[in-house]
């Protein structure tokens, strides 16, 4: 364990470019929003000031609308789509610098904030002061982020907020998005060259070329209306309520509300608890009576999207009705999920091996992702389910014992997939070992 922890800390040191921790050494040479949050959880175990600096940098790129962008670009080249394709300078809401993308990622940042506060509690007086001041000084910015999701992205207050690109879900090519993507039909567009395939061993570990045409088509559609929130909703070919991210908004809002209370901001805490409750109710209302899984919804057609993916376990993230949570827990540990007899490690595959859409190598279509395991473990702790948290921790650490800190893992063979020395994987390992 000491060797594994030392290896994880080394990955974080190596990926630190002096300003940010890049998400991965070559595949992702910039700061990604939810990566930065997970990375901060790990950094908090090493250095509270360094962890604060990571979140500060991200927050410095917040848009005037409240949105935290999914990529904050560093001055390097080598990633597509870079700033020249995003063209977010067209938006009056973007900060002047640094350049950013024009979409968001799941709201997990309060978990990072709470991890810093917790680490500081065991640290020096200076750490404690810095952490408390940071929470107090940035609270309104985090609140604006949550409120933007809960209002602009959920105009009808359904409790499920919508996304305009599957990159916003973080689960780019999950079968969750297959049906909505059939309705995304790229027209004439400027040519582009993918850069991601150069950084993995095998192209089947990444999304397909057709996926990428659709991804870039959506970017171009948003740029065509200068990333104006209302106009994007009017023109975009992809509008889907994301149940997994909405559950994360509920969990994060509860956690942020507790932090707001500690810095004497009951007004903010109240607003956050309203968001948490509405999101939790929205998640519960999405559960399919037939499968027991939570569902996304295509806003354009009104259709519920029933796929057997890990997104279906949203209620295990945000909690709620005890009957629902215990039924979900049983399903989660059962033979179609973590308990599937062919799995090498008992952590959730991103698509059930029992489902036709399952692909054991292709990115979010089957592989296991340590950060997802961490989220379920973190949420279990929040609910007081230490048994589930311990199980996920134990299995995840066995999976990570190869020391490659890979982006994702083959659920049947346990082989490392995607990028190696991925910052967020090293970060959650550090947290588990801490």
Contact in structure between 88 and 99 (CB atoms under 8 Å) = yes
Q: Does 167 bind ligand DGY (CB under 6 A)?
A: yes
- From 172, 220, 254, 431, the catalytic residue: 172
Instruction: Name which of 35 and 154 has its Cβ closer to ligand DGY.
Output: 35
Q: Which of 54, 168, 298, 407 is catalytic?
A: 407
Total residues contacting ligand DGY by CB under 6 A comes to: 4
**Taking CB under 6 A as the rule, does residue 172 contact ligand DGY?**
yes
Q: What are phi and psi of 232, to 5 degrees?
A: -60, -45
Integer Cα distance of 340 and 331 in angstroms: 11
Subset of 387-406 contacting ligand DGY (CB under 6 A): none
Query: Which parts of 175-234 interact with ligand DGY (CB under 6 A)?
Result: 196
Q: CA angle 3-372-194, nearest 5°?
A: 95
Interface with ligand DGY in residues 54-83 (CB under 6 A): 70
* Between 232 and 255, CB nearer to ligand DGY: 232
Cβ distance to ligand DGY smaller for residue 101 or 373: 101
231 is a catalytic site residue: no
Nearer to ligand DGY, 70 or 329 (CB): 70
| 330 among known catalytic residues | no
Task: Give yes or no for residue 162 binding ligand DGY (CB under 6 A).
Answer: no
Contact 396, 390 (CB under 8 A): no
Tell me if 364 contacts ligand DGY by CB under 6 A: no
Assess contact for 368 and 353: CB atoms under 8 A.
no
How many other CB atoms are there within 10 angstroms of residue 434's CB atom? 15
Minimum Å gap between C-beta 54 and ligand DGY is 18
Contact call for residues 139 and 265 (beta carbons, < 8 A): yes
Q: How far apart are CA 295 and CA 314, in angstroms?
A: 9
Closer of 197 and 357 to ligand DGY (Cβ) = 197
Strand partners, 31: 72
Q: Which residues bind ligand DGY (CB under 6 A)?
A: 70, 167, 172, 196
Active site residues: 172, 407
């Amino acid at each position: 364990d000491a060797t594994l922890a030392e290896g994880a800390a080394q990955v974080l040191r190596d990926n630190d470019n002096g300003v940010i921790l890049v998400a991965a050494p070559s595949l992702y040479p910039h700061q990604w929003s939810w990566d930065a949050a997970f990375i901060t959880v790990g950094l908090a175990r090493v250095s509270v000031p360094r962890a604060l600096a990571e979140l500060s940098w991200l927050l410095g790129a917040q848009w005037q609308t409240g949105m935290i962008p999914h990529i904050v670009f560093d001055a390097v080249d080598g990633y597509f789509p870079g700033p020249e394709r995003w063209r977010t300078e067209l938006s009056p809401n973007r900060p002047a610098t640094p350049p950013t993308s024009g979409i968001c990622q799941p709201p997990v940042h309060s978990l990072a904030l709470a991890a810093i506060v917790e680490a500081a509690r065991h640290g020096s007086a200076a750490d404690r002061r810095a952490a408390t001041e940071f929470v107090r000084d940035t609270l309104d910015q985090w609140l604006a982020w949550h409120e933007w999701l809960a209002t602009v992205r959920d105009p009808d207050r359904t409790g499920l907020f919508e996304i305009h690109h599957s990159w916003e879900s973080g689960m780019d090519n999950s079968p969750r998005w297959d049906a909505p993507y059939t309705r995304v039909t790229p027209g004439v567009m400027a040519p582009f060259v993918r850069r991601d395939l150069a950084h993995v061993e095998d192209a089947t570990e990444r999304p397909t070329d057709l996926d990428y045409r659709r991804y870039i088509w959506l970017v171009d559609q948003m740029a065509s209306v200068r990333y104006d929130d209302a106009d994007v909703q009017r023109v975009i070919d992809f509008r889907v309520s994301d149940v997994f991210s909405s559950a994360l908004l509920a969990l994060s809002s509860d956690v942020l509300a507790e932090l707001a209370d500690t810095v004497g901001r009951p007004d903010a805490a109240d607003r956050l608890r309203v968001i948490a409750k509405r999101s939790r109710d929205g998640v519960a209302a999405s559960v399919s009576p037939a499968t027991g899984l939570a569902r996304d919804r295509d806003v354009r057609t009104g259709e519920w999207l029933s796929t057997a993916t890990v997104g279906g376990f949203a209620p295990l993230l945000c909690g709620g009705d005890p009957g629902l949570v215990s039924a979900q827990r049983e399903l989660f540990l059962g033979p179609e999920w973590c308990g599937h007899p062919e799995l090498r490690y008992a952590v959730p595959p991103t698509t059930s091996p029992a489902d036709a859409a399952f692909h054991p190598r292709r990115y979010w279509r089957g592989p296991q992702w340590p950060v997802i395991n961490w989220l379920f473990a973190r949420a279990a702790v929040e609910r007081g389910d230490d048994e589930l948290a311990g199980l996920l921790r134990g299995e995840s650490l066995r999976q990570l014992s190869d020391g490659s800190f890979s982006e994702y893992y083959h659920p049947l063979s346990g082989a490392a997939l995607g990028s190696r020395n991925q910052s967020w994987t090293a970060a959650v390992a550090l947290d588990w070992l801490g």
